[in-house]
Amino acid sequence: MSVNLQGNTISITDQNTHHLANQMLDTQALPMILQQIHQDVIEEYGKGNVADYIPALAKVNPHQFGMAIRTVDEQEFSIGAADTAFSIQSISKLFTLMLALDIVGDDLWKRVGREPSGMRFNSLVLLDSEGGIPRNPFINAGAMVVTDIIAARSAAPARRIEEFIASLSGNDANRIDQLVAAGEQATGYRNIAIANLLKGMGNLEAEVEQTLDCYFKQCAMTMSCRDLARAIECLANRGRSHFKSSFHGEKMDKRINSLMLTCGLYDAVGNFAYNVGLPAKSGVGGGIVAICPGQYSVAVWAPELDHYGNSVLGQLALEKLTFYTHTSIF
Amino acid sequence: MSVNLQGNTISITDQNTHHLANQMLDTQALPMILQQIHQDVIEEYGKGNVADYIPALAKVNPHQFGMAIRTVDEQEFSIGAADTAFSIQSISKLFTLMLALDIVGDDLWKRVGREPSGMRFNSLVLLDSEGGIPRNPFINAGAMVVTDIIAARSAAPARRIEEFIASLSGNDANRIDQLVAAGEQATGYRNIAIANLLKGMGNLEAEVEQTLDCYFKQCAMTMSCRDLARAIECLANRGRSHFKSSFHGEKMDKRINSLMLTCGLYDAVGNFAYNVGLPAKSGVGGGIVAICPGQYSVAVWAPELDHYGNSVLGQLALEKLTFYTHTSIF
Amino acid sequence: MSVNLQGNTISITDQNTHHLANQMLDTQALPMILQQIHQDVIEEYGKGNVADYIPALAKVNPHQFGMAIRTVDEQEFSIGAADTAFSIQSISKLFTLMLALDIVGDDLWKRVGREPSGMRFNSLVLLDSEGGIPRNPFINAGAMVVTDIIAARSAAPARRIEEFIASLSGNDANRIDQLVAAGEQATGYRNIAIANLLKGMGNLEAEVEQTLDCYFKQCAMTMSCRDLARAIECLANRGRSHFKSSFHGEKMDKRINSLMLTCGLYDAVGNFAYNVGLPAKSGVGGGIVAICPGQYSVAVWAPELDHYGNSVLGQLALEKLTFYTHTSIF
Amino acid sequence: MSVNLQGNTISITDQNTHHLANQMLDTQALPMILQQIHQDVIEEYGKGNVADYIPALAKVNPHQFGMAIRTVDEQEFSIGAADTAFSIQSISKLFTLMLALDIVGDDLWKRVGREPSGMRFNSLVLLDSEGGIPRNPFINAGAMVVTDIIAARSAAPARRIEEFIASLSGNDANRIDQLVAAGEQATGYRNIAIANLLKGMGNLEAEVEQTLDCYFKQCAMTMSCRDLARAIECLANRGRSHFKSSFHGEKMDKRINSLMLTCGLYDAVGNFAYNVGLPAKSGVGGGIVAICPGQYSVAVWAPELDHYGNSVLGQLALEKLTFYTHTSIF
C-alpha cells in the first residue's frame, strides 16, 4: 500500500506495517495522516443511519465528521468538525465510572462485574439470572448501578457529573442538553425497566427516579471531539489530567482501559479489537473515544451508525489511524 | 513497593509503575525478576485443584511451577520446571486456529464468530440459539469447528496438527499423549454432544467421529513451557517463526492476539486483561501462554487451577511479570 | 382406604377410586367429606410460610382454613373460615381475563399467548426474547397486558374491575383493600419493570402508571371463599352466572378452563393437574379457586404457602376433594 | 350449527354445545359423526407438510386419513385408513413411559420432571441449566431418560419395548421398522447430542449407544390407528387393558393423562387443550392418540404436519370429535 498525502508519500506495505506496529506515534506525520483519513472516510457517507429514537438526535445532519487527537505531552491534532459539540450518549458511562471509582474505589466491583456480557447492551436476561449484578459497567444495567453510586452520595448528582466532566475537558461549556435528556426520559421504557429490576434485586441505593434522572441526563452531555480527547487524557496518561490536576486516576486507568477493550463496543468488541486495536467506548450520538496507553487519546465523531449502534466512519477512521501510525496495541 | 532480588534492589513504586508501563522489556533485569516471581508464587501452592476429570491429569504432582520467556530477538529466559512437558489442553486451540487460518484464510470466519460469549466454555446455550455458529474459536464449540476444517482437508489430521505444532516449537518430541487422548474421549460426553449438535446444525464437514478424534488428540499434546514460548513466537514477532520459516502468520497475528485478549481466558477474561494485560490462552493442564506484541512470548505452568479452570500460580506469575517489567499493553 | 366420617363410613379402596373417577358429584356425602378434609388438612399447619413482601399480608394469622363449594344447581357447601375475606392476589387475573375477553373478544390473543411458559411467573426472559408477547394471561406480564386492555378502554378502570368482580360474586362488599394496593405499589419494582418493558416493546396501550395502578389494585381485592366460588360459577356453568345474568361467558369458559389447567399454578402446573385434576388458579394470599366443568366451582383458603407460592393446605384440600368425590377430570 | 349426516340431522347450536359438554359418549351417533368428520377434514388436504428428515417418512403419501375409537366397554368405531400402519414416532414416548413406570414406579420422577417446558421439544437449553433433569417425559431428553431406565434393566431393551407395545395392542404384527430406525440413527445428531449431554450430567445409566439405539428404534414402531386406540385403552379404562390383562396401570393412568394434557403436544399444548380438550400425544409420523378418561381412547392419522410437527387433519378431526360428542374435559 502506498498512501499519497498531498504530494508527500508515506509508503506502507502490508509487511512492514506488521514489523513496525506498536510504535511510538510519529507526530510529524500526523497532520498528513489525518487529512488522508478524512479524505478516505467521507467517501463512506450514507452507509449508516442516524439514531432516531429521540427527535433531538434524529434531526442531526448525518454527513459530518470530526476527529481530535491529544498526546500525553499535550500536543493536539484535529480535522473536520472536531470542535462541533454532539451528544456523547454512552461515552458518558466512562466518566461516571471514573467518578464512582473516585468516590467508592474498588467497592464498586461488589455491585458490578468486569466481564463481557455476550448480550445486547440493554438485555435483561443475564441480569435476571445473575442475581442483579450486571456483567460490566458499560452495559446499561451496569452503568445504572455506577450512576446510582453517585446519585446516592450527592445532593445534586446530575450537576456533579456535569461538572466532573467539564473539569476533565477544561471546557465549562460542556453541559447537559435538557431537550435530549427529556427525550431519553420520554422513550426510555427499557431503561426504566432495568432500573426497577435492579431496585427489586437490591442493587440500587437511591430512589429509582433519582438514579434514572441522573442516568438520562449524563447521556445527554454535549461535547466536541476536542473536549472528549482532553477529558479522557487521564486514561492515556497514567491517570493524570492536565486540566484537572486534582484528579488522581492512577489506580483506575489500567482497569478502565482493559474494560474498554473487552466491553466497550458491545457486540462488536472482537472486531474492533482486531481492526483498531485500542481500548475504546462508543455512543449512539456517533462519537467514539479511544486510548493508546501511554501515548495519546483520540475522539472521533460521525453520526451515521451501523446496526450495532457504532459510528460507521468513526470506526473506519480509528482503524486507519492505528494502521497508518502502527499504534494498535496488538 | 521495593523488591529485593538477591542483594540487588529494583525499586518500584505504585506511581512510577504507572509512568513506566508499556515499556520495552529490560532483558538484563529479567533473570532477577524471574527469580523473584518464582519465590513469590510458590508460596501460593495449595490454593487450587489439579484437573481430575481424566486419571492421567489427576495424578500430576500439583506443586510444580515453570516459566519460559522468549524475546523476538531470540533471547530465552526461564525458571523452575520450564523444560518439563505437560498436557497443553486448550492451549492447542491456538495452534489449530493458526493451522486452519493457514489453510482456509478468512473463510474460517463464516463458520465461527469473533466475539466473547459471556457463557461457560462448554455451554450449549448460545450455540443452539445462534444457528450453530459458535461465538469464537476458543470456546469448545468454536475450536471444534476449527478442528473440523483441518479434519475435512487432511488424510491424517491429528498427525498433521501434531507435526504443525512440533515444527513451530522446533521440538520433534512434542507429541500427543495417547493415554490422555483416550481419557478425553472416554469422559468427553459434553464435547461429543457439542460435535453432534454442530453436525446437526450443518457446521461440521467431516464425520463427527473424525473431528472428535482429532479434537481430543490435539488437547492431549505434551509440551514444556520452553516449547510453548517458542511455538507462539510468531504471534509476538509479527507472524514470523525462527523455527518454521515457511510459516507466514503476518495476516493472523493481530487477529489472534485480539481474540486471545477478549476470549482467551473464558469467564475470567476481564480480570486477566486488567491484572496481566497481555493476550493469553490457558489450558486445564495448568499452562498459560501469553504474548507481548512485538516484544516477547511467554509460557507458564503450574497444575493447580482456580474454579474457572485457569492456573492459580500461572496467572499470578504473569501478573507479576508485567508489573515488574511494565509491559502490560494497557 | 377407609374413611370414617363421624360414625358413618365411606369406604374407598384405591382400586374402586379408579373405577369411579370422573363421577357426578354426590352432594349428599359432601358435608361429611368437607368435615373429613378439614380434619385432615389442619394437621398440616406450619408446613408453609405466609407471603411477607407486603406488611398487610405478612401479619395474617397463618393458621386459618376455609373452603366453599357451589354446584351449578346453586347448592352451596362450606367449612371453616369460608366467609372470611382475604386478599385474592393473582386469582384476580382470572376476573380481568373474563372482563377483557368480554370487551375485546379474541382480539386479546393478538397480544397474549396461550401456552405454558416454563419460567417463573415474574420472569422477564421469554418476554424479552419473544417480542413482547407474554406467554399466557396468568404470568404477570400477560396479566398486565390483559389489565391494559381494560385500562385503555375505561374512564375508571380499577373501579370497573372492582364492580365487575363484585357483581359476579353478588357481594357488594367485595372491594379493593387500599392498604394492600399501596403495599403492592411500594414494593412492586419487578412488576414496574415488566410494565415498562411491555410499553417499550409496544404492548401497552394506556400509560404505564395507569395500567400498573390498575394491576396493583386488582391484586388487592378482598373476598371470601364463598364469594370466589360464586364469582367463578360461570366457568363451571357453561359461562352463565346466577348473580350476573347479563354476563355471557359461553365463548370463554372452555378457553379459560383449559388455560387454568395448563398455566394456572405456575411451576407446579403438572403436579397439580395430577394431584387434583381440576382447572385452577392460585394467589399468594393463600387462596385457590378451581372448576369441575359442568358440575361445581370451589374456593379454598389457607395462608401458608409452599415455595412455588401456592397454599399448602389449599392444594391438599382440593386433592382430597377430587379423591373423595371422584371428580378429577383425568 | 346444523350438521347434516347423510340424511339425518344432528342440530348443534353453539349454546347447547356448551350446556351439553362433558357428556357420556353417544355411541349410536358415532358412526355418523365419524363420517361427517372424515368428510370435513379431507377438504384440508394440502395444508401441511409430511416429515422429510428421513427418506422413509418423506415418501409417505400425504393424502391419507384414518381414525379409530375404542370405548372402555370394548366397542370400536373407525373410518378411513384406520387399519393402515404408519410410523408412530413420538407416540412411542407414551408406551416407554408406561413400561418404565411399571419397572421402577415413582422412582422415575427422580430423573425426569413433570412440568411443561415452554421450549422446543429438542431444546438443550433447560437441560443444561437445570442439572440434567429434563422437564418432562415427552420432550426428547425426558423420553431418553425414560428409555434409559428400560435399557439399563433389560437384556434386549428394544425387543422388550416392541413386545410390550404389541401386547398392549394385541397385534403381534406391530414391529419396529428397521429402515426408519436406521434413518433416525443416521440423521439424529441432535438426539445423539442430547444423550451425550445427559450422560455427561450423570442422568443415563446404560451406555449412550445402547440407550440411543433403543430410543431410535422405539420411534420407528409401526402401528395402525386401531392398534393405537387399543394399546392406550388402559389410560381411558383406569389402567386396565383387555388385551394385556397382566398389565396394571391403575397407579399411572391419571399421572400420564395429566402429563399428556400439559405436555403432550409441545408448543401447541395450550391451543390443543382448548380446541380438543383431551389428553393427547402426537408424533411426526402424523399420528395423534387421545384419551377421554373413563370413556374412550382414540387414534387418528394423517401425515401432513403443521409447523409444530402436529398432524393438521388429526388435530382437526379430534376437535370435531369432542365438539360433536360433547366430550371435551373442559
Q: What is the pLDDT of residues D262-295, one digit of tens each?
A: 999 978 999 999 999 999 999 999 999 999 999 9
Residues near C253 by beta carbon (within 8 Å), at least 6 away in sequence: C234, C235, C238, C239, C293, D18, D330
Cα-only R_g, chain A = 19
Interchain proximity D19–C259, CB inside 8 Å:
no
**Contact flag B118-A114 (C-beta cutoff 8 Å):** no
Q: Dihedral (C-alpha) A271, A272, A275, A280: value to the nearest 10 degrees?
A: -170
| β-pair partners for B77 | B69
What parts of chain C have a pLDDT lower than 50? 1-21
Residues in A closer than 8 angstroms to B18, CB to CB, are: 238-239, 250, 253-254
Q: What phi and psi values does residue D132 have, to the nearest 5 degrees?
A: 80, 10
CB atoms within 10 A of CB D145: 23
What pLDDT does B16 receive? 37
The tens digit of pLDDT for each residue in B124-178 reads 766 767 789 999 999 999 999 999 999 999 999 999 999 999 999 999 999 999 9
Tell me the C-alpha distance between A37 and A31, whole Å: 10
Cell of B247: 510459516
CA pair distance B106, A76, nearest whole angstrom: 37
For chain C, the maximum distance between any two Cα atoms, rounded to a whole number of angstroms, is 63
CA-CA-CA-CA torsion sign (C317, C321, C324, C330): negative
Residue A207 confidence (pLDDT): 97
Mean pLDDT of D13-42: 77
Per-position b or e across A174-199, b if 16+ CB within 10 A of its CB: bbbbeebbebbbebbbbbbbbbbbbb
Contact present, D162 and B162 (Cβ < 8 Å) = no
Q: Which residues pair with D290 in a beta bridge?
A: D280, D298
For residue B160, give the nearest of B232, B99, B85, B229 by alpha carbon. Answer: B99
List Cβ neighbours of A146 (8 Å cut-off, separation of 6 or more): A93, A96, A97, A100, A108, A112, A137
Write the DSSP assignment of A11-34 as a string of letters. Answer: E--HHHHHHH-SPPP-TTTHHHHH
Given the residues B87, B93, B289, B297, the one annotated as active site: B93
Q: Would you say D37 and D320 are in contact if contact means Cβ atoms under 8 Å apart?
A: yes
At B243, which amino acid appears?
Answer: F
User: Measured between alpha carbons, how far is D167 from C211 in angstroms, rounded to an integer?
Assistant: 58
Decide if A126 contacts B117 (C-beta within 8 A).
no
Helices then strands, each counted (H, E), chain C: 15, 10
Q: Are C194 and C204 a contacting pair, CB within 8 Å?
A: no
Determine which helix (DSSP H) or strand (DSSP E) holds B184, and give its type and residue range: helix B178-187
**CB–CB contact A197 C189 (8 Å):** yes
| Euclidean distance between CA atoms D258 and D237, whole angstroms | 15
C-alpha to C-alpha distance for B48 and D59, rounded to whole angstroms: 58
Which residue is listed with cell 431519553? A184
D93 catalytic, yes or no? Answer: yes
Mean pLDDT for chain B overall:
91
- CB < 8 Å to B129, chain D: 125
Report whether B262 contacts B116 (CB < 8 A).
yes
CA distance C15 to chain D (A): 7
Chain C residues inside the 8 Å CB shell of A200: 189-190, 193
Do residues D324 and D33 touch, judged by C-beta distance below 8 A?
yes
d(C-alpha D146, C-alpha D154), whole Å: 13
Residues D275 and D273: their CA atoms lie apart, in Å, by: 6
Kindly indicate the confidence band of residue D117, based on its pLDDT and cuts at 50, 70 and 90: confident
Nine cell digits for residue A250: 492512577
Q: Any chain C CB within 8 A of the CB of D123? A: no
Q: Is the pLDDT of residue B261 over 50?
A: yes
Residue D266 among the catalytic residues: yes
Selection from D197, D196, D159 nearest residue D181 by Cα:
D159
Chain A neighbors of B278, CB-CB under 8 A: none
- Count H helices and E strands in chain B, helices first: 15, 10
Give the Cα separation of D139 and D134 in Å (integer). Answer: 8
Shortest Cα distance, chain A CAs vs residue B66, angstroms: 26
Q: 3-state secondary structure string, C114-131? A: CCCCCCCCCCCHHHHHCC
Q: What is the pLDDT of residues A265-279, one digit of tens each?
A: 978 999 999 999 999
Task: Please report the sign of the dihedral spanned by the C-alpha atoms of residue A109, residue A111, residue A116, residue A120.
Answer: negative
Enter the DSSP assignment of A49.
Answer: B
Smallest Cα–Cα separation from A124: which of B154, C116, C189?
C189
The model's pTM: 0.91
Categorise residue A75: left if φ over 0, alpha if ψ from -120 to 50, beta otherwise: beta
C-alpha cell at B205: 464437514
pLDDT for the residue numbered C267? 83
Average pLDDT over residues D99-117: 95
Smallest Cβ–Cβ distance between C200 and the set A190, A196, A197 belongs to: A190
Q: Do D196 and B192 touch (CB under 8 A)?
A: yes
Rounded to the nearest angstrom, the gap between the alpha carbon of residue B176 and the centroid of all alpha carbons in its chain is 16
- The pLDDT value recorded for residue D127 is 73
CA distance C84 to C252: 29
Q: Do D293 and C115 touch (CB under 8 A)?
A: no
Alpha helices (H) in chain D, listed in sequence order: 14-20, 30-41, 55-58, 92-104, 125-129, 140-151, 157-169, 178-187, 189-200, 208-219, 225-231, 233-236, 253-263, 269-275, 312-325
Question: Rounded to whole angstroms, what are the CA distances from A239 to A27, A164, A329, B22, D286?
Answer: 22, 15, 18, 14, 69
**Cell digits of residue D104:** 421402577
**Residue D19 to residue C238, Cβ atoms within 8 A:** yes
Of C14, C119, C279, the CB nearest to D330: C279
Q: Please report the ipTM that was assigned to this predicted complex.
A: 0.90
Q: Does residue A208 surpass a pLDDT of 80?
A: yes
The rounded distance, in Å, linking the Cα atoms of A127 and C51 is 25
> pLDDT tens digit string along A71-99?
999 999 999 999 999 999 999 999 999 99
DSSP A278: S
**What's the mean per-residue pLDDT of chain D?**
91
pLDDT tens by residue, D158-184: 999 999 999 999 999 999 999 999 999
Q: Determine the distance from the C-alpha atom of residue D107 to the mean position of all C-alpha atoms in its chain, rounded to a whole number.
A: 23
Active-site pick, A78, A90, A241, A297: A90
Cβ–Cβ gap B193/D197 under 8 Å: yes
What lies within 8 Å, CB to CB, of C109 at 6+ separation is none
Using 50, 70 and 90 to split pLDDT, how confident is the model at A47?
A: very high
pLDDT at D10: 41
Q: What is the CA radius of gyration of chain B?
A: 19
pLDDT of the residue at A267: 82
At C145, list the grid cell. 397486558
Question: Would you call B48 helix, strand, or coil by DSSP?
Answer: coil
Q: Are C311 and C48 in contact (CB under 8 A)?
A: yes
Q: DSSP E strands: which ranges in B117-252?
A: 175-176, 221-223
Surface of D (12-31) touching C: CB under 8 A: 14-15, 18-19, 21-22
Verify whether the Cβ–Cβ distance A330 to B135 is below 8 Å: no
The one-character DSSP state at C155 is S
Q: Is D238 on the interface with C (CB under 8 A)?
A: yes
Task: Report residue B307 CA to chain centroid gap.
Answer: 17
Residue A125's pLDDT is 67
CA distance A88 to A289: 10
- What's the whole-number mean pLDDT along residues D235-239? 95
**Phi-psi category of residue A4: left, alpha or beta, with phi > 0 → left and psi -120 to 50 → alpha:** beta
Q: How far apart are CA C198 and CA C193, in angstroms?
A: 9
Question: What are the chain C neighbours of D294 within 8 Å (beta carbons)?
Answer: 21-22
When mean pLDDT is compared across A92-96, B12-16, B69-73, the lowest value belongs to B12-16
- List the domains of chain D with CATH numbers: 2-325 (3.40.710.10)
pLDDT at C23: 77
pLDDT at position D207: 97
Determine the average pLDDT of the residues in B274-279. Answer: 95
